[in-house]
Copies of this chain bind each other. A is one copy, B any other.
């Protein structure tokens, strides 16, 4: 368990739901992701709160998309799972007294901020539908295997 894989997983799920299922149970999704139904519910709760998916309890219940994939960006999904920290490195303390440390952290935060801005900009500019189309192309390629 090194890197947070929730974003990847949720994108994976959304595309499968759009392409292969009209409705899927947590268990079905869990098998798809190679994980547990509880983990699925836990993670997808964020997507539900944002209105990207809808869930129903009881017999015949499960999850279904509540929006078109064209209306969901990677950034939306990232936010929905709680906008976890992007970087694994960073300054040591919040408000250092030491002026040297302040100078170090300022430069470090500048660089990190630039990278974060770029990354989130990319997330904003890509919709889940874009990735689904990548899959379509790749799938066509794969089946015809020219």
Contacts and interface: CB of A to CB of B under 8 A. Distances in A.
A44 B59 CA distance: 60
Contacts of A33: 92
Q: How large is the interface on A (under 10, 10 to 19, 20 to 34, 35 or more residues)?
A: 35 or more
Contacts of A19: 100
Which of A15, A88, A89: most chain B CB closer than 10 A? Answer: A89
A84 interface: yes
Interface of A is mostly: helix
Given A99-B142, A100-B15, A5 B90 contact: yes
Contact of A116 (B8, B16, B115): B115
Given A8-B105, A85-B88, A99-B139, 10 more contacts: A5-B89, A5-B90, A15-B100, A84-B89, A99-B135, A99-B142, A104-B131, A107-B131, A111-B119, A115-B119
Interface of A: 2-9, 11-12, 15-16, 19, 32-34, 74, 84-93, 98-108, 110-112, 114-116, 118-119, 122-123, 126, 130-132, 134-135, 138-139, 142
